[in-house]
């Protein structure tokens, strides 16, 4: 009877196992790279771009509110100074105007109550197209609308179509202020 076994010796098993592990090292690195690129990176991109959209919406809201306040504060014509409203709103959302080409106007043109940047992604409009509430004689109102079209100018490249599909239109904010003219 033969007493030799068919099992390999421990040293040959170690060599075989070591050879297999060395061959697998590249596969593990490749798997990590694929999971990072296809799983983690898009999640990170969506998080950052979502935060940028939120910041843009907050800037639009602040700009509209500041513009409406400026129409009241610089009220020299008894119906609200629309140019001051436009210029103040522009200063509050200047970074959105500067995105397409790196420069932005410092204020609205004299006598103008509306401005938009070169490619039409950011727009500010100040007008009297609003209804006065109440029966106060001589009351007027000023409406300041700020708008940013994310489809035309995405804040992070490659996310324009995705957020355009989710938002169904431009980001927009409106502020209305009613002015009671009680001056003699």
Domain residue spans in the chain? 51-179
pLDDT band at 26 (very low <50, low <70, confident <90, very high): confident
Q: Which residues contact 95 (CB under 8 A, 6 or more apart)?
A: 59, 104
pLDDT at 19 over 70: no
Closest-CA residue to 128 (of 176, 172, 84, 90): 176
pLDDT of residue 144: 93
Q: Locate 158 and state its tokens.
A: 């490659």
Q: Beta strand 122-127 with 140-148: parallel, antiparallel or unpaired?
A: antiparallel
Residue 23 to residue 26: CA distance in whole angstroms: 7
Q: Read off the pLDDT of each residue in 87-116 and give the average, rounded to a whole number.
A: 80
pLDDT band at 134 (very low <50, low <70, confident <90, very high): confident
Cα 54 to Cα 44, 59, 61, 158, 169, distances in angstroms: 15, 9, 11, 17, 15
Tokens 């009297």 belong to residue: 128
């Amino acid at each position: 009877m033969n007493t030799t076994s068919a099992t390999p010796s421990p040293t040959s098993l170690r060599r075989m196992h070591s050879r297999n592990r060395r061959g697998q090292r590249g596969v593990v690195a490749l798997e990590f790279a694929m999971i990072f690129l296809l799983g983690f990176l898009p999640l990170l991109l969506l998080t950052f771009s979502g935060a940028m959209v939120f910041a843009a919406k907050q800037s639009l809201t602040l700009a509209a509110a500041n513009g409406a306040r400026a129409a009241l504060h610089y009220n020299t014509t008894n119906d609200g100074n629309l140019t001051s409203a436009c210029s103040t709103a522009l200063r509050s959302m200047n970074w959105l105007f500067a995105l397409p080409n790196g420069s932005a106007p410092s204020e609205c043109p004299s006598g103008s109550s509306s401005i938009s940047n070169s490619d039409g992604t950011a727009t500010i409009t100040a007008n009297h197209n609003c209804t006065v509430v109440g029966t106060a004689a001589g009351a007027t109102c000023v409406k300041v609308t700020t708008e940013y079209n994310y489809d035309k100018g995405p804040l992070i490249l490659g996310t324009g179509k995705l957020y355009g599909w989710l938002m169904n239109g431009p980001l927009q904010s409106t502020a209305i202020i009613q002015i009671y003219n009680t001056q003699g």
